[in-house]
C-alpha cells in the first residue's frame, strides 16, 4: 500500500466515516477523510442530536401544566424560539469541534471539501489529486420531497432546525419516525399541527400495537392526524401556504414540512466512473463485508440504504476497520437492533413485530399491558403507556419487545441486551422488578392475551 498516498480514504465524516477513520488509524493505517458540509454528519447536525434536544424542550409545556398537581405554581410562560435555535447551534458547534479533535488526535488527514473519484484509486479533493489503496463511501442520505407543484415552498427536517421563528400552523407530510417526531416537537412548542399520511396508519414496519397506541395518544394531545390523505400542490398566497389535498380540499399553514423519506447521497461523486454499481434509488450495492462491485471500494451507513441508524453505521465501521487493518474476519450482526422514536410519548422497540413473529415462528404468545403511568394518577392526564412482549412458544424465547410511553428508549435498551442473549420468558419472570417503575411491567406480565384480543395484521 506504500505506492498510494493513503491506505484508506473516507468520503464523508459522519458517525460511520469518523469511526472508520479513527479505528483504521489506530491499527496503523494512513487515513484521510473528506467532508464537504459539517463534521458529524446528519446525526450531529440535522438529525439525532438536535432532534432530541428539541424533543426535550417540547416536553416542558405539559411539564408546566402537570407541576400544579405536585404543589408547584408555575407562572406565565412564553417561547423564545430563536434562543432555542441559538443554544442548539452552540451545542452542535461544540460537537463539531469534538469530531475534529478525534480526527486530529488520531493523525487522520481532514479535507473540508467535496471529494470525487477519478478511478478506483484516485480522488480529486480541494484542488488536489490523491490516491488510496482503499476507499470508503460514507456519505449518508438526504431528505427528498416528492415532485409536486410548489415543492419549493416546503421544508425538510434539515431546515426545521434553523427556522428563524416558531410557525403558528404547520402541516407535516409523512408517516415515518421523522414525521411523528416533528409533529410532536412543533405541537409541544404550541404550534397547531396537522399530519398527513397517504396510508391508513403511519409507522409502517413497526408493531401494530405501537402504531395504534401512538396514533391514539397523538390525537389526545390535539395533533390532527389525517390518514389516507396526501398533498397534491403547495401555493403561497399572501402570508399563507395553501396545501391542496387529493380530495380537492385545502389547508392553510405558515410552514409545510415534508418527511417522506431520504435518498442515498451518492450522486455526482464519480462512483459510476470508478465502476461502483448503484441501485435505482442511488444506494451503493455492497456485500456482507461492505465491499462494492469494485474490490477496493467500500460503503456503509445510510448511503447503502439498509438500516438507517447512527449506531448501525458506527458498528459497521468497527467491523470494516478491524477486517481491513487488524487481520480480523468479522461480520456485522443485524439481528435484534433496538431503536427508539422520540415521538410524544416515546417509542422503544427491539426484535420482531407480532405480525412478523407469526410468519416466522408460527405459534407465539403475546403479552400486552396498557396502563396510566403513576405520574398521571396525580395529574389526571389521559396518557396511557403500552408495553408488549412477544414469545416464541416452542422455545419460550422472547423475540420482540415494544413500548410506547415515557423514556421508552431508555427502558428498551436494556431489553435489547436480554434479547441479544436469548433470554426466555421464564427468565423475565424470574427477574425481580424495580418498584415503582414502568419498566417493572416487563417482568410482571404473566398472562398472554387471547387471539381475539390481537389487532389486525399489519
User: How many CB atoms sit inside 10 A of residue 356's CB?
Assistant: 16
Out of 59, 121, 344, 435, pick the active-site residue.
435
DSSP, collapsed to helix, strand or coil, labels residue 424 as strand
Kindly write down the DSSP assignment for every residue of 325-386, as one continuous string.
HS--------TT--EEE--SS-EEEEE--HHHHHHHHSSEEEEEEEE--TTHHHH-----EE
The question of whether 344 is a catalytic residue gets the answer no
β-partners of residue 234 are 243
Helix%, strand%, coil% for the chain, nearest 5:
35, 25, 40
Whole-angstrom distance, CA of residue 209 vs CA of residue 351: 14
Give the closest residue to 341 by CA, choosing from 157, 170, 210.
210
Cβ–Cβ < 8 Å for 455, 209 = yes
Query: Coil, helix or strand for 405?
Result: coil
Among 22, 30, 172, CA closest to 105 = 22
DSSP H or E stretch at residue 267: none
Active-site residues, by number, are: 435
Amino acid at each position: 500500500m506504500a505506492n498510494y498516498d493513503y491506505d484508506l480514504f473516507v468520503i464523508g465524516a459522519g458517525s460511520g466515516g469518523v469511526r472508520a477513520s479513527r479505528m483504521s488509524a489506530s491499527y496503523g493505517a494512513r487515513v484521510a477523510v473528506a467532508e464537504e458540509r459539517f463534521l458529524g454528519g446528519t446525526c450531529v447536525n440535522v438529525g439525532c442530536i438536535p432532534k432530541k434536544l428539541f424533543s426535550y424542550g417540547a416536553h416542558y409545556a405539559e411539564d408546566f401544566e402537570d407541576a400544579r398537581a405536585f404543589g408547584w405554581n408555575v407562572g406565565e410562560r412564553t417561547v423564545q424560539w430563536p434562543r432555542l435555535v441559538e443554544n442548539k447551534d452552540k451545542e452542535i458547534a461544540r460537537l463539531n469541534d469534538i469530531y475534529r479533535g478525534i480526527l486530529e488526535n488520531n493523525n487522520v488527514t481532514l479535507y473540508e471539501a467535496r471529494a470525487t473519484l477519478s478511478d478506483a484509486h484516485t480522488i480529486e479533493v480541494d484542488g488536489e489529486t490523491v490516491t488510496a489503496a482503499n476507499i470508503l463511501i460514507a456519505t449518508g442520505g438526504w431528505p427528498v420531497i416528492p415532485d409536486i407543484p410548489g415543492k419549493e415552498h416546503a421544508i425538510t427536517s434539515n431546515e426545521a432546525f434553523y427556522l428563524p421563528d416558531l410557525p403558528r400552523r404547520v402541516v407535516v407530510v409523512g408517516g415515518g419516525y421523522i414525521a411523528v417526531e416533528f409533529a410532536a416537537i412543533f405541537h409541544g412548542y404550541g404550534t397547531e399541527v396537522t399530519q398527513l399520511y397517504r396510508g391508513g396508519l403511519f409507522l409502517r414496519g413497526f408493531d401494530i400495537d405501537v402504531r395504534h397506541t401512538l396514533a391514539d395518544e397523538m390525537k389526545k394531545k390535539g395533533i390532527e392526524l389525517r390518514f389516507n390523505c396526501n398533498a397534491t400542490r403547495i401555493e403561497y398566497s399572501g402570508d399563507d401556504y395553501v396545501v391542496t389535498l387529493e380530495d380537492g380540499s385545502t389547508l392553510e399553514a405558515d410552514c409545510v414540512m415534508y418527511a417522506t423519506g431520504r435518498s442515498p447521497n451518492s450522486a455526482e461523486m464519480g462512483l459510476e466512473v470508478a465502476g461502483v454499481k448503484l441501485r435505482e434509488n442511488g444506494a451503493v450495492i455492497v456485500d456482507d463485508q461492505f465491499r462494492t462491485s469494485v474490490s477496493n471500494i467500500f460503503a456503509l451507513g445510510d448511503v447503502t440504504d439498509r438500516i438507517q441508524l447512527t449506531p448501525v453505521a458506527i458498528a459497521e465501521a468497527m467491523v470494516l476497520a478491524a477486517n481491513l487493518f487488524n487481520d480480523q474476519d468479522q461480520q456485522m450482526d443485524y439481528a435484534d437492533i433496538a431503536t427508539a422514536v422520540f415521538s410524544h410519548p416515546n417509542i422503544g422497540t427491539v426484535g420482531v413485530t407480532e405480525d412478523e413473529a407469526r410468519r416466522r415462528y408460527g405459534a407465539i404468545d403475546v403479552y400486552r399491558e396498557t396502563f396510566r403511568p403513576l405520574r398521571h394518577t396525580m395529574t389526571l392526564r389521559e396518557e396511557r403507556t403500552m408495553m408488549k412482549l412477544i414469545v416464541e412458544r416452542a422455545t419460550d424465547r422472547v423475540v420482540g419487545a415494544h413500548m410506547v410511553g415515557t423514556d421508552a428508549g431508555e427502558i428498551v435498551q436494556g431489553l435489547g441486551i436480554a434479547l441479544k442473549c436469548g433470554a426466555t420468558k421464564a427468565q423475565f419472570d424470574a427477574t425481580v422488578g424495580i418498584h415503582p417503575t414502568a419498566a417493572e411491567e416487563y417482568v410482571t406480565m404473566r398472562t398472554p392475551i387471547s387471539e381475539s384480543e390481537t389487532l389486525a395484521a399489519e
